[in-house]
Structure 1
Amino acid sequence: MPRLNGGEIIARYLEREGVEYLVGIPGHGSTNLLDAFNESKVEVIQPRHEQGAVHLADGYARACGDPLAVFTSIGPGATNTVTGAATAYVDSIPMVIFTGAPQTHEYGQGILQEIDRQNPGDFPRVMDPVTKQSFVVDDVERLPRILRRAFQIATTGRPGPVHIDVPMDVQGAAADVEIPDPAHSRSHSRPGGDAESIAAAADLLADADRPVIVAGGGCMLAEAWDEVQTLAEHLTAPVLSTFQSKGILPEDHDLFVGYAGWIGSTAGNELATSADVVLAIGCRFSDLQTSSFEPGVSFEIPPTKLVHVDIDPNEIGKNYPVDVGIQGDAKVVTRELYDELSTRLDPVPTADNEYYDEIQRRWAEWKAMLDDRQTDDVPMSISRALGSLREALPRDGLVVSSAGQPQETVHPEFPVYGPRQNISCGGFSTMGFGVSAAIGAKLARPEKPVVDVEGDGSFQMCMEEVACAVEHDIDVTWLVVNNHGWKSIRNLQVDKYGWDRVLDTEFTEETDTDYVQMADAFNVGYTKRVVRPENLTEALSAAIDHDGPAFVEAVVEPDNPDSGAIVTGEWDLADLEET
């Protein structure tokens, strides 16, 4: 057995896992770990903030399905990862996060950057709610086993981030160890559904007159896009996707009908509420997707019968009662449902099919509504900016977005045509996510163009990561739609309480950031500010064609109802009670 120190064990194991990149910022608490990567095949990417490191790993995993490793120092470097870890945890995105920790012989002595007042070396408790598991390596000889377990937990079942706290002396300590083979700790099959439940679900679907399929993020994680399309085409059932499954069906497919919920499509909400059977696959039924569970707005369950498939049994029946609940992998169970359904029902024809005709009519009405938003008004709308981006971005390009107005417009209005072409934070709704997630997406799929759409407020939260892309020459384009402020929240205050009760920061001409000067200061190779919408497609095409980081600012309207989104459902936000 080779004699290796802790850092070398981590480097060798990441190589065996096939991890391409280790992402993070060096600190005194990680120097022993990092030294080993001078001789490693794993490339080290250094962002400008630890939150950005986690978002980069997150974007990478969403784009290709594989995990990266993140490293940080002890103390604030470690705590800076929490928002990124929470974002990944809520959306079930795999990664392993290494943080530095006090020397084992000094635990509880309050050494520099230790959290110790309640428990010695207490940082792992901070990570407990936002990771699948948090490990502490108290002995270098235990490190290989912990590494094996960490990647096994991160990538199997319902995926998610895993945390490993590595004390500084453990990073430097040496031992005679064997580096485990990851293949020996992985399941070599995926869990299917219970046969009786599959049969019961097939009976419901075969008898349904108005079936609807809701394909959630679990379908994307399980790579179930072919299975979902095959089943939908057999049933001639409309398919709704969610934030995390956008692209599960090409959005020009005749059975794609958009989304349900607060900013869902009219077609999606109308078809979902009138369904007699809903098949939900890998779907959480969140408040935004369900119009805060208000009956008859986005779903009507019951009387609509629900077949709910999920690898996590805690999601089944959590928010809606189920007629058939099936625990299992989305890809396997969808294939099983198709096989069972095929013995009961021939493919449903589209000709002389009133339900199919209704699907086409409702989708055409929604598309006409979107087309009406493509005006040449100045300042332009975010919808108009996205229309130009769709013209400039090749069909197989990736679009990335963070929380706020751009995401609320990208999600329902910007069509994508394949899986993993939409990279967006979902359940944690994290501002600034896309700035570095786009870098990760490009590293995962270097042959595809990647464009991140950010609001000016969101972009400023993580804009330092532009420097990371420039340093490593990563070919990402940022499109900042600048409406001079945090208008999503301002408009929410206006809607709830009126203009006289608004507390907001208005970014005026005198105080607003000059984003092009900012990008120039970061040495971005192509920069452009666009005011007139007819000039935007050309600017975006040039940015996408540029070999290296590129930046385009589109000046968009500062004031619009509902922050530019088309609100077709409801969202329950508690109002003030009268006093």
Structure 2
Amino acid sequence: GAKDPVIIAGTGIHRGRAHAELRALAELLGIPVATSYMGKSAIPETHDLALGTMGAVGQKAANEKITSADVLLVVGSCLAPENTKMLAPDFIRPVAQKIIQIDIEPRNAGWTYPIEIGVTSDARLALIEIANAVKSKRVKYDVKKRVADILKFKTEMKYFDEEVRRSEDIPLAPERVVHEFNKAATAEDLVVLDGGNNRIWVTHHFKSLGAGQVFAPGGAAGVGYAPPASVAAGILNPGKKVFCFSGDGGLMMQLYSLEMARQYNVPVTFMVLNNSCLGNVMDYQAHERRVMTQYPTSNFAAIAKGVGIDGVRIEKPGEIAPAIAKARANEGPMLLEFIVQDCPHFRCMG
């Protein structure tokens, strides 16, 4: 039997509505759960067995546990390069680890790594069958000890507790913005991410509170996804608060979403991390040659007011929490513009 197994949960958990089944299996065996970037919130990251997201911008706890595991149960993830530190040979090690991969797309099993077992199945159905098989064996596991060990390990890894989250810097540290939002968020909120560095800050620093509450774009062409997707999420989920994280570049591409949110009175809060640049693109340019990635600062709070939405510009750390509280109390759409540093995303790599 496995001595140190880890479950890796991907976007297949969201698509298969398998959140309850994933949690049930993890709790049945006391197995910790890491997620891919698009699988974030497959299990609430507040759960004792949650390790957070994996990969280059993931949690150190997730990455360390995946590397030391003897068995990896991969459910609904193709283990794409962005989740595996670009297939780093010292991260996932099929020579030393047994990999069991379950995916509804047969081509995904064994696509990036050689595997011990591949299963073509819907995530929810597969997890139910595994749990039933475990119960039929009537084997007792010391789940309490496993959970206690995981909690101790996460404390040592400073799980969602980096000091930069409490930064007093001006311009604002994006990590501080996400941290303050995290303190005010509830498990019922929907959080939608855009392409660019904003998704990296939120992926790394937002500890999800509810299963399936985070929506994120995949691939390299996701800039501009979040504003219209957030409006759609609000319309399709009446009664829920939606928080749309985007950069200034992404929102500038989709300004019509502000008017749409106003027209239908959708309870979306547009959380704009404004660093006056296309940060993710700029991160990969040479410092001495920044091309078409920096521009004058736009005033998105003023733009929001121009279309009839309350807009607030936040420039100091002490202004963050009151602004978020105001947005939570607001029944319609609102825009919060945070003037943040144009810092590289590399500093949150785990």
TM (norm. structure 2) is: 0.94
CA contact (8 A) 2:164 2:176 kept: no
Aligned-pair Cα RMSD in Å: 1.7
In structure 2, which of residues 36, 53, 59 is the aligned counterpart of residue 265 of structure 1?
Answer: 59
Measure the CA separation in 2 of the matches of 1:296 and 1:345. 36
1:427 to 2:212 alignment: no
2:338 counterpart residue number = 554
Q: Number of residues paired by the alignment?
A: 349
Measure the CA separation in 1 of the matches of 2:99 and 2:274. 42
CA contact (8 A) 2:271 2:336 kept: yes
Give 1:447 deviation, angstroms.
0.9
1:363 to 2:154 alignment: yes
1:506 counterpart residue number = 294
Give 1:424 deviation, angstroms.
1.2
Residues 368/229 of structure 1: CA separation in 2 closer, same or farther (3 Å cut): closer
State how 1:439-458 maps to structure 2 within 5 Å: 439-458=231-250
Residues 433/548 of structure 1: CA separation in 2 closer, same or farther (3 Å cut): same
SS of equivalent to 1:431: coil
Once the two structures are superposed, residues 344-384 of structure 1 have per-residue CA deviations (whole angstroms, 9 ceiling, x without a partner) of 35342244x4x545422332223264244312222211110
CA contact (8 A) 2:41 2:213 kept: yes
In structure 1, which of residues 429, 436, 439 is the aligned counterpart of residue 228 of structure 2?
Answer: 436
Report sequence identity in percent. 26
Measure the CA separation in 2 of the matches of 1:414 and 1:239. 16
Measure the CA separation in 2 of the matches of 1:399 and 1:347. 38
1:492 to 2:284 alignment: yes
Measure the CA separation in 2 of the matches of 1:383 and 1:564. 13
Give 1:532 deviation, angstroms.
0.7
Measure the CA separation in 2 of the matches of 1:409 and 1:237. 27
2:78 counterpart residue number = 284
Once the two structures are superposed, residues 448-472 of structure 1 have per-residue CA deviations (whole angstroms, 9 ceiling, x without a partner) of 1111011111111112221111122
Give 1:518 deviation, angstroms.
0.8
Measure the CA separation in 1 of the matches of 2:34 and 2:143. 18
State how 1:321-340 maps to structure 2 within 5 Å: 321-340=114-133
For 2:121, the aligned partner's letter is G
CA contact (8 A) 1:432 1:461 kept: yes
In structure 1, which of residues 510, 517, 521 is the aligned counterpart of residue 302 of structure 2?
Answer: 517
1:534 counterpart residue number = 318
Give 1:246 deviation, angstroms.
1.7
Residues 362/461 of structure 1: CA separation in 2 closer, same or farther (3 Å cut): farther
Once the two structures are superposed, residues 149-188 of structure 1 have per-residue CA deviations (whole angstroms, 9 ceiling, x without a partner) of xxxxxxxxxxxxxxxxxxxxxxxxxxxxxxxxxxxxxxxx
Give 1:552 deviation, angstroms.
0.8
Extract unaligned runs of 5+ from structure 1: 1-206, 569-579
For 2:77, the aligned partner's letter is C
Give 1:244 deviation, angstroms.
2.5
For 1:309, the aligned partner's letter is I
2:69 counterpart residue number = 275
Residues 445/567 of structure 1: CA separation in 2 closer, same or farther (3 Å cut): same
Measure the CA separation in 2 of the matches of 1:436 and 1:372. 31
SS of equivalent to 1:527: strand
For 1:555, the aligned partner's letter is I
Give 1:248 deviation, angstroms.
1.7
Once the two structures are superposed, residues 457-515 of structure 1 have per-residue CA deviations (whole angstroms, 9 ceiling, x without a partner) of 11111122211111222221101111111122212224xxxx223324322xxx32121
For 2:289, the aligned partner's letter is R
1:116 counterpart residue number = none
Once the two structures are superposed, residues 311-358 of structure 1 have per-residue CA deviations (whole angstroms, 9 ceiling, x without a partner) of 11111111111111111111111111111122335342244x4x5454
Residues 323/267 of structure 1: CA separation in 2 closer, same or farther (3 Å cut): same
Give 1:392 deviation, angstroms.
2.8
Residues 283/554 of structure 1: CA separation in 2 closer, same or farther (3 Å cut): same
CA contact (8 A) 1:317 1:325 kept: yes
In structure 2, which of residues 264, 267, 270 is the aligned counterpart of residue 475 of structure 1?
Answer: 267
For 2:340, the aligned partner's letter is V
Residues 368/257 of structure 1: CA separation in 2 closer, same or farther (3 Å cut): closer
Q: Which has the larger radius of gyration?
A: 1
Residues 542/347 of structure 1: CA separation in 2 closer, same or farther (3 Å cut): farther
State how 1:140-539 maps to structure 2 within 5 Å: 207-297=1-91, 299-344=92-137, 346-351=139-144, 353=145, 356-364=147-155, 365-367=157-159, 369-494=161-286, 499-507=287-295, 511-524=296-309, 526-539=310-323
CA contact (8 A) 1:234 1:347 kept: no
For 1:211, the aligned partner's letter is P
For 2:330, the aligned partner's letter is H
For 1:532, the aligned partner's letter is K
Residues 245/345 of structure 1: CA separation in 2 closer, same or farther (3 Å cut): farther
Once the two structures are superposed, residues 82-128 of structure 1 have per-residue CA deviations (whole angstroms, 9 ceiling, x without a partner) of xxxxxxxxxxxxxxxxxxxxxxxxxxxxxxxxxxxxxxxxxxxxxxx
Measure the CA separation in 1 of the matches of 2:293 and 2:219. 26
Measure the CA separation in 1 of the matches of 2:49 and 2:29. 10
Residues 347/423 of structure 1: CA separation in 2 closer, same or farther (3 Å cut): farther
CA contact (8 A) 1:409 1:565 kept: no
Once the two structures are superposed, residues 523-577 of structure 1 have per-residue CA deviations (whole angstroms, 9 ceiling, x without a partner) of 11x211111111111111112221211011111112x2x3265112xxxxxxxxx
Measure the CA separation in 2 of the matches of 1:242 and 1:231. 18
Residues 395/565 of structure 1: CA separation in 2 closer, same or farther (3 Å cut): farther
CA contact (8 A) 1:442 1:448 kept: yes
